[in-house]
Every structure is written in structure tokens, then in C-alpha cells.
Amino acid sequence: MSQYPRYAIYFVPAADSVLYRFGASLIGYDAYAGQPLAFAPNIESEVDGWARFTGDPRKYGFHATLKAPIALAANRTEGDLISAMAAFARTPRAIPVITPTVRSISSFIAVVPDPPCEALQAFARDCVTAFDGFRAPLTAADRERRNASVLSGRQIAHLDRWGYPYVMDDFRFHMTLAGSLPADRLESVTAILRDRFAALNLETIAIDRLALLRQDGATTRFTIVHHWPLTPARA
């Protein structure tokens, strides 16, 4: 059984940004307020079953994972993690900037970079390593839940070292808009979401923030505990 509370380190756009309002209203949850949101206008009539398809993303809020959910090590506190993240955010660094697109990944749909961004890959690696000392060891149940039979050898090594398989060279930045869809619905729903995203006219997105989220129990949603702007390196 997973340990609670769990903490996650995510990129979450600023609460008042066009991007955040777009994503949060699609999935129907505001992680800043910890409150449900009305779905974006007409999405339920355009996509039959929309509430069902966004049930999983709603648990996490609109985000991109930088360090996947963890339980804290026995000698660490939430305050310790907040202090470490604040110091990390204050450290000057190159701010990754992506060109976003909406694409299906396996059976779900997300905002992803196109082309890939090496600065973002490096930033994600830094987040995984910088905060790993806060992570409690995986329980046997958590490891089994990852279904190692479908992972590559490298991903199993990541799971055992970092507690999560999709890190380092296997990291793929994505901001989920819809969870698992049937194969025969994937293309049409992707087209609808791509058109909605195009209307925002977001040619680039700066990955310039860091957020700490907490989940208090298996049936509760992640909420934002604290968030920080990143400090850009001087030119």
C-alpha cells in the first residue's frame, strides 16, 4: 500500500495564465484552490464521455511531472522539502522554452514540446537528482504496481535507483489534457483539443516555475502547497 501523504514536484503554469486556465478547465480541477471547476464551455457536448476521460488527470491537476509522487523519508519533513525547493528556485539557471503542440501519447492526449528541448531535459534531470534525498524507499507494492514486465531494462534500473521509470533519457515532458481513450476515439478527440489549443496562440511556453503538491490520501486529489518562479541566469 502506498504511503501518505505523497508529494510531487511539478511544473504548473501560473494560476492566472491563459495556459493554466485552459488546462484546468478542461480537466475540471484547480490544484491551486483544491476545488473542482466547471468544464470548459461545450467540451462535454463535443466529446461524449469527457468527464470519464479526464477522471485520472483530475486527481493530479493540470501539470507536467518533474519528480513523480513520493512519500517522504523518515528523517524529512514537508518544511525541509519546501526550504530545499525554495533554494533550488533561487539558483540562477537557463529557463527552458518550448514550442508546444497537442499530441496523443499512447492512449492519452497532452501538450508536449515539438521539437524536444534539451534544456528542459536537463532541468528535469536536475529536479530528479536534487530532491531524491527526500524520497522514502519504494514499497514492494509500489514497485509491483509499476508492472516491471512492460518496462525496458533501463527503465527498471531507473525505477530501482530513482523510484520512477520515466526519468533521465526516458523523461518525456507532457501536460495531460485527457486520460486513456479508446483507440477509435483518439484521433477525433486529439483534433478537437488541438483546435482549442491553437486558439490560445501560444507560440512558446517558458518552463519557469516549480510547484510542490501534496496528496493526503488515496481518494484525495493533489493540491498545491507552495510554488515558486525560477530565477533566470544572467545573460
Q: At what angle do helices 78-90 and 118-130 cross, to 10 degrees?
A: 150
Confidence of residue 2 (pLDDT cuts 50, 70, 90): confident
Name the pTM for this structure.
0.95
Q: Does 117 have pLDDT greater than 60?
A: yes
Average pLDDT over residues 50-75: 97
Could you give all domains of the chain from N- to C-terminal order, each with its CATH number? 6-229 (3.90.1140.10)
